[in-house]
Structure 1
């Protein structure tokens, strides 16, 4: 049973990454994996539930990638730069998936501050942990960990939206460098 549910979710994620959330339909997924559309409903009660499962898995995968990314120097500032490189990878390499996760209106999307402070966001929890480490090491000044993490993430996501909307230099390498420069300026204001 779990194998089929995972195949369904993997197919939905692949369609979403390639074409956007609008391309994901139960009929199309059923045709792609060779089952009847009704067979999908044994695993997911509706399209929203399937997309929520895809989002949950994608956020978990992204958080894992953030945690695993090596940070030059190892301090909190270097860790934040490394973590946001993983976010930039998704935004540049999988723009449809990025929009679905961070900007599209969808069922069960987490909202700040309550869902985040309760630990429901695997990605912002990574940023908050790095910020907490930076505050504890006195690299960053004392502040509300979640508010700082949200501010940093919102700033980076705003830059990504400008890039995806064609409002910045179209070169991915120059955009990435610009993001790191901007993140550096934000962190300069937060350093102890």
Structure 2
């Protein structure tokens, strides 16, 4: 069986890398402690020295993924007006959702006991990805582009709108090619932003 991960990485990093690769290619249901241990070259019992259980392993992978996604997205939204930066953020979001649909579904769509909850966790800035959206919306409000509003409620509305479109597209309910789908998402966001302009 193929052993994933970088040889020089720590065992814990290699375990997380294997779990992420399985999750990305096959989905969360395919990740088991036995399978991950075998791919890394450990006994199943040895794996428990690094993670207490499957849920702890998946939680670790999710936390790493969210941090990585936030780093990636933050580099692409520093130029232009608030609306242009938000538009760039939409492209980054769609890139991830369309290129890694199983990982996207696990992170943003599947029920998890440790998933962040609106409003408490979000208002406490525990969401690396939504924090980026809030920063851009806040800049728009402070710059007079958008009217003053509850920025967290606006942010979750934007996120829900995009997530809904992605779910419809993944579910085969939108009969557009990818460029057409992306254009539809941008048009929907532009309509929403028009509704909150100052």
Provide TM-score, normalisation by structure 1.
0.95
Write out aligned runs for 1:53-68 (5 A). 53-68=60-75
Distance 2:121 2:157 in 1: 16
Distance 1:64 1:84 in 2: 15
Provide, for residues 123-169 of structure 1, a one-character-per-residue CA deviation record: whole Å limited to 9, x for no partner.
00000010000101111111011111111111111111100111002
> Which residue does the alignment assign to 2:48?
41
- Structure 1 residue 28 corresponds to structure 2 residue 35: yes
Distance of aligned partners of 1:124 and 1:152 in 2 relative to their CA distance in 1, 3 Å threshold: same
| 1:107 CA displacement | 2.4
DSSP-derived class of the 1:168 partner: coil
Unmatched segments (≥5 aa) in structure 1: none
**Alignment RMSD, CA only?**
1.5
> Which residue does the alignment assign to 2:114?
108
| 1:76 CA displacement | 1.0
Provide, for residues 72-116 of structure 1, a one-character-per-residue CA deviation record: whole Å limited to 9, x for no partner.
x61111111111211111110110001101110112001100000
**Which of 135, 141, 146 is the equivalent residue of 2:147?**
141
DSSP-derived class of the 2:149 partner: coil
Distance 1:92 1:62 in 2: 14
Provide TM-score, normalisation by structure 2.
0.93
| 1:170 CA displacement | 4.5
Distance 1:32 1:170 in 2: 38
